Amino acid sequence: MKKVQVLCGIFIFFGGCGTHLVGYNDDVWNEDTGIVLDTDTETDTDTDTDTDTDTDTDTDTDTDTDTDTDTDTDTDTDTDTDADTDCSDDWKESFEDVAGSVYYVCDCGPGADSDCSAGSDAQDGTSPSTAWRTWSQARETFSDLNAGDTLAFCRGGSFDADDGSNHRWVNTTCTSEKPCVVRDYTPNWATGDEARPQVTGPASGDLFHLADSGSSSHEEGYVFVNLDLQGQQTGRAFYIRNDIDDVLMCNLNIEGFAVGLYAGSPASSTDAGSDGENENIHLRNSTIVNNTHQGWLGACDDCVIENNLFENNAFEYPTYGHNIYIGTGPDRMTEGIRVVGNELYRNAMVDGQCSATSLVVHGEHNGLLIENNLVREDPGTAASSTGCWGIVVNPGHRGYAEGFPNLVIRGNTVLNVGRVGIGVAACDPCTIENNVISLHGDLTRRAIRAPADNVMESDDMTMANVTVRNNSIYLKDGRGWGIEVGTEGTGHVVVNNSIHYDGTEDRWSCMNLDLSTSSYDTVDHNLCHYPNASGTDWVDGVGGLSSWQATGHGVNSFIADPMYTSVDLLAPNLYMRSGSSPLVDAGHPSLSSSDDIEALRRDSAPDIGAYEHQ
């Protein structure tokens, strides 16, 4: 059966697009927020300057939210019947099975369901019919919960978290085995059309501030599910710092904050039993939209960002704002971060133009996996002055070493971003495979760029052992290269890539490989098609394909139409349109990716490009 590329659905959320330029003259390490404020620029050598600078503004305040879903009968039986999404998790397979007390809260503020019936703080809160009313009552109770207890907020309710409190949500008795849960429930008055509980964040500070004050003490086991969190363009929906482990946030709407979620830096001082580090912070199946500065900000060991929609974040932070910004401070190497299955759209939109990289990573991260994400912009919206890159993993700060050992970027679809689709630097080894990249616009472009240098310094990891394989690329126009691997390192492999260029620029080349040929272990079994650019080099500065083959590389590479199914800019399908495509069975017999972009096993005669023909 023939497989075709299926793109994620298009989600439309509306939010204001103000302009608020923020700049800094030098890098500043903020001990409280753990963020480097930097204004370093990514400079393109072809007379273009790509600016990708990351900053952050954080506020230290707290608030809270809930998780999970239940349905209550008239006899106050709390049955979990809401099927909004699967919120099982790696560290807690089924938090619904945790036995503990449930405390109910129901308020009917602005935007509540018309049938809403508020509770009362004078009641005991132990059943839907005796629910408490206020956010303050719930937050104050949270610190006294036993392991496995739950705070449940009524569906159809509306809650005001701007109660003048310190917004801190801390409980040292919760555990990974018996987490404390904040969720929704279906109240007795419900008729079946009730939305998730809506929580309006404070006008100043954070909503859920999970960090304790002073030196860090260990906390673990928090779950937040099925909530609609509405900010006032300030603070963060979640502030997670000072040794907070095993936090699951699932099926949330996080909208209108300055930063959607901040996973902070290590604590500057620790109490006994605390390592000061966050671990296992998981954000899944949620929408993070219309936040002014960043969608996700920060990093931790085994952080997971999975199956979320990030849209229209950082609209007040051109150049520096991102849908996802993974970063660490000095001397902090994270392990095992996974960014999987997300959709990123309309990043840092100012005057209708995307002005910054949508998914950026700086710092030190081992074993980072970026997989099966859709990163897209609308055609023609990539700002020419700043580039609007797609996925970039590179050093971004001065003054301390950065590097990305064991980096894998695979199975992603990148559409209509600016100068660079996927860029890496300071990684060893790093694998870029099975990605689909379709770019449009009259800019200098690299579908894949290594190194995507920003602030490379002598103590950063030397890029080496870069493998670029089985990627399918379409470039509508512009100048530049399909794939660039050069500048430094050895052991590079570039195989099984399909590149189709429809532009007319003679200053475009299939590849830029500027190191000595001995620095590349293998460059072969690549296809390049450039029907309208007669003066194009196969490798920039070397000449056509025959000149490149004379170096000993590319003997099995060739020029041919890859026969993509569709190169429509809104919904490209770079699957081969028939079994007669020259991509079929033309790949390297031993250096191909083991599976294709759809997780189908490649056969003994693998295909070129992201797809294996079926």
CB 217 within 8 A of CB 274: yes
Cα separation, 608 vs 8, whole angstroms: 24
- Closest CA relative to residue 362, chosen from 427, 307, 312, 305: 427
Residues in the chain: 614
Q: Which residues contact 189 (CB under 8 A, 6 or more apart)?
A: 115, 116, 117
Look at strands 304-306 and 338-340 and give their pairing: parallel
Tens digit of pLDDT for each residue in 129-156? 999 999 999 999 999 999 999 999 999 9
Query: Which pLDDT does position 276 carry in this prediction?
Result: 87
pTM of the model: 0.88
Does position 233 have pLDDT exceeding 50, yes or no? yes
Diameter of the chain measured on Cα atoms = 85
CB 148 within 8 A of CB 180: yes
Q: Determine which of 159-168, 227-236, 427-436 has the lowest per-residue pLDDT on average.
A: 159-168
Query: Which pLDDT does position 256 carry in this prediction?
Result: 98
Query: Which pLDDT does position 364 carry in this prediction?
Result: 97
Tens digit of pLDDT for each residue in 542-583? 999 999 999 999 999 999 999 999 999 888 999 999 999 999
The residue ranges of DSSP E strands in 186-271, in sequence order, are 198-200, 208-209, 219-230, 236-240, 244-255, 259-263
